[in-house]
Structure formats: structure tokens, C-alpha cells
Amino acid sequence: QVQLVQSGAEVKKPGASVKVSCKASGYTLSRYGLYWLRQAPGQRPECMGWISVGTGKRKYSQKFQGRVTITRDTSANTAYMELHSVKYEDTAVYYCAREGDAGIHFDHWGQGTTVTVSS
């Protein structure tokens, strides 16, 4: 079955970078895009960006442009999201999610990675 397994919780100081991984299994990775989203406490999810696992093409949401880098390692079936210059307001649960067939929705989600920014 489709599984997305993310790396563990992180605690970072303001100004640092954080990198979260998402290992995929149970499907042909190159056929689907992978999105990164985050959800601050009590808030709605928000999209950070997308990567085509097959081609490596990337697209970032305007809010995060210049501060986020999404990459993938096809040999390891893993995608990565790195957020730079973190601020207190970046404290959130970060999710990877698989793009559904023929449209922008998310049919499978990772379990989430809690990132806490604290001095």
C-alpha cells in the first residue's frame, strides 16, 4: 500500500535551517508529484511547494519562495524539504503528500513532522 514516512521531530533556533525527509513506497514514484504542506497549531493546512519526482521540476508557493528548497533522491525514493532562516512563526507540523490523479489534491499524506522554533 502507499506509504509516506517522514523524519522525526526537530527543534531549531531562529535563523537556522531545518530539513525534513519523506520516504515513499508502495507505488511508482515517478508517476506522481509530491507536495509539502504545513499546519500551524489551530490553523488550516497551507501549501509550500511541489516537486515532480520523475523530472525534478519544482514549484514553490509565493509565500515561501526564496526560503524553501524541495529536492528528491530517486534512488532512495525520498523527497526533502528544507526551510531556511526559520522564525518562531514557522513552528508547525510539516507534511508531505502525494498528488492525486489528474488534479491538484492530496490522496496520501505522511504522518507529519513537528518543527519547533525556540531559542
Partner 1 sequence: SYVLTQPPSVSVAPGRTARMTCGGDNIGRKSVHWYQQRPGQAPVLAIYYNSDRPSGIPERFSGSNSGNTATLTISRVEAGDEADYYCQVWDSDTDDVVFGGGTSLTVL
44, 66, 89, 119: which one binds partner 1 (CB under 8 A): 44
Contact flags string 62-101 toward partner 1, x per CB under 8 A: x--------------------------------x----x-
Q: Indicate the DSSP class of residue 63.
A: G
Exposed (0-12), middle (13-18) or buried (19+): which is 70, by Cβ within 10 Å?
buried
State whether the Cα torsion 75-49-10-84 is positive or negative.
positive
> Is 54 among the residues that bind partner 1 (CB under 8 A)?
no
7, 91, 106, 116: which one binds partner 1 (CB under 8 A): 106
